[in-house]
Structures are given as C-alpha cells and as structure tokens.
Amino acid sequence: GENVEQHPSTLSVQEGDSAVIKCTYSDSASNYFPWYKQELGKGPQLIIDIRSNVGEKKDQRIAVTLNKTAKHFSLHITETQPEDSAVYFCAASEGGTSYGKLTFGQGTILTVHP
C-alpha cells in the first residue's frame, strides 16, 4: 500500500519568514495530494491540494509543488503569521474510486514566533 513520509516533524520560524514542509510517497499510482491544517481541538482542514497533471499550485501565501518523477511534493508558506501555527499533514490517494481513502504523513508541528 501507499506510504507517505513527511519532514520535518517540527518547524519553528519567525513571523514573516517562509516555511517549507516536504513529503515523499511510494505508490506511483497516487495522483491526488492534499494538505491539511489541524488546530488544537479541531479536525483537519484542507488548505490546498494538487493533482498529478499539475506541477505547482498557488493560493495567496500558500503554494504546493509536485514532482511525480521523484515522488515528492512540498508545501510552501510565505510571510508566515502566528495564526499559521498548527499541525500540517500531507496526504496522498490513488484517486478514482479511492479519492476517499487518504494516506497521511506523520505531521509537522509549525510554530510561528511573533
């Protein structure tokens, strides 16, 4: 089955700096890669996703890049703010009838210091 590795496990940055979280996956059939943000006491919330026919996607301060050949994808957050502090998870799925079956990375605890 699919295996997703996520690094780093913790990331501490100063407000205004950029943050980068990287994930690798094992199943070449995976073609859907969402990123979720989880705050304390809440369920994960989708912040951005990318599909295998796209190499990069951007939404304001957040961007995701995908390298299918190397089987890795990354989350980039620019101009970080204290409210960006949370746990971030990457995930992968084969798509098709398996879109509802996500394999998650272990998570990255992001702390943004004011």
Partner 1 sequence: KAGVTQTPRYLIKTRGQQVTLSCSPISGHRSVSWYQQTPGQGLQFLFEYFSETQRNKGNFPGRFSGRQFSNSRSEMNVSTLELGDSALYLCASSLDYGSTDTQYFGPGTRLTVL
Contact residues: partner 1, CB under 8 A: 1, 32, 34, 36, 41-46, 49, 51, 89, 91, 95-107
- 12 vs 45, beta carbon nearer partner 1: 45
* Minimum distance of partner 1 from residue 109's CB (angstroms): 12
* Minimum distance of partner 1 from residue 11's CB (angstroms): 17
- 80 vs 88, beta carbon nearer partner 1: 88
Can you tell me the distance from the alpha carbon of 12 to that of 43, in angstroms, rounded to the nearest whole number?
Answer: 22
- 15 vs 39, beta carbon nearer partner 1: 39
- Its sign, for the CA torsion 78, 38, 100, 69, is positive
Can you tell me the distance from the alpha carbon of 37 to that of 9, in angstroms, rounded to the nearest whole number?
Answer: 14
Nearest to 40 by CA among 87, 97, 94: 87
* Minimum distance of partner 1 from residue 14's CB (angstroms): 27
* Minimum distance of partner 1 from residue 17's CB (angstroms): 26
Report cis status (omega within 30 of 0) of the bond before 114.
no
